[in-house]
Amino acid sequence: MERHAAIGEIRELASGIDALYLSGRAAVPSGLLDRLAEARVAAEMVSEAVPIELGGSEFAMAPFGWGKYRYRLLHDNGLVGVTRSERLPALRIQPRAEFLHGVGPDAAVDWFRQRFEDEVGPLRLSVSRVDLHADWQGWVPDWDDRERFVCRANALAMRGNCGDLTGWEFGRKGTKTISARIYDKTLEMEKKGNDYWIDIWGDAYEPELPVLRVEFEFGREGLREFRIDLPGEAIDASGALWVSATHEWLSYRSPTDDQTRSRWPVAPEWEQVQRARLADGAVGLDRVREGRRIGTLRTLGPSLVGYLAAFGANVGTAGIGDTCEALPRFLEHYSRWSGIPFEARIADKRRVE
């Protein structure tokens, strides 16, 4: 985050809901619980996720749980936990970020609701967490800007890499109220392979400049302060939540001689952050998933090439062609030794990824 831009150059690339965690209360039929138990046993036996059909869609049952939820279900569109316990909501649902951005938050909620109402009947969904984000280019805070932030929370952490500032963290997530992060989104994208953000940012994105993300996380207690419980309420209130967070909870100020920082004027950069559009336009699930695929291949590249080079050195090949020709025999031998067909490994990765 070492590059600086003049005031007035800051521009918004995208903003909206980046995470929407749901809890679902329902009377889970014993027949469904039996099916889940059988799938879990099968997954434990092979130490891999196994397919299970729910609501007309194929999920994968993991061989391990998700926190207090014994049954962990995987799908391209998100993660679902199911429990027998009557002390917890029957379902815990976490849509993938790319699914939210691909189809929009309303459609994402509807997709999970339809799948599981087909299995459990009437389902009451409530929101346990919502993350709001706005991505910017043209504003790059540095280490010396610490005193310019005014926040209701006392906790403040700064993150860096090789001397460069990579982000700020405000508040503590464990309180389940409000916390915030301001960080280099392009750096995170490069590490995780989330290249679909380039499609979301569109033509306004300049690849030579870093993207600064301003992100607020509202936990269950924080949402309760706004009397938000249902998914539709959280989606409809996203703009109001952003206004409250950027006007009352956290701000970035222009220093003056006044010893009380809260009386410093709001900086022009932050005034623009306060006016984020919070527009949750769906960019298309196919485009988002293609971006994720490209990013995954990019991040796999160094390891894949390294392993293939080591393989070639050990089997005596000299180039790409003869190394690739030697792979099938090795993979077939390893499949027989491990007892797991390579085709099964690909299918399992496809379900999990």
- Whether the per-residue pLDDT at 349 is higher than 70: the answer is no
pLDDT in tens, 209-260: 999 999 999 999 999 999 999 999 999 899 899 999 999 999 999 999 999 9
Q: How far is CA 76 from the centre of its chain?
A: 13
pLDDT in tens, 29-84: 999 999 999 999 999 999 999 999 999 999 999 999 999 999 999 999 999 999 99
pLDDT in tens, 299-344: 556 766 777 778 778 878 888 888 788 888 877 777 777 677 777 7
Q: What pLDDT is recorded for position 290?
A: 47
- Whether the per-residue pLDDT at 94 is higher than 90: the answer is yes
Token readout for 191 is 């590490």
d(CA 1, CA 138): 11
The whole-model pTM stands at 0.75
Q: Is 251 exposed, middle or buried (0-12, 13-18, 19+ CB in 10 A)?
A: buried
Q: What pLDDT is recorded for position 125?
A: 96
pLDDT in tens, 279-294: 544 333 344 344 445 5
Q: What pLDDT is recorded for position 348?
A: 62
CA atoms within 13 A on the CB side of 128: 16
Q: What are φ and ψ of residue 275, in 5° steps? A: -95, 20
pLDDT in tens, 122-163: 999 999 999 999 999 999 888 888 899 999 998 888 887 766
On average, the pLDDT of the chain sits at 85
Q: What pLDDT is recorded for position 291?
A: 40
Q: What pLDDT is recorded for position 350?
A: 57
Q: Where are the domains positioned within the chain?
A: 11-19+129-274, 27-122, 285-352
CB neighbour burial string for 330-347, b if at least 16 within 10 angstroms, e if fewer: eeeeeeeeeeeeeeeeee
First to last CA, the chain: 31
What is the SS3 assignment for 66? strand
- Whether the per-residue pLDDT at 96 is higher than 80: the answer is yes
Q: Is 157 exposed, middle or buried (0-12, 13-18, 19+ CB in 10 A)?
A: exposed
Token readout for 62 is 């993991």
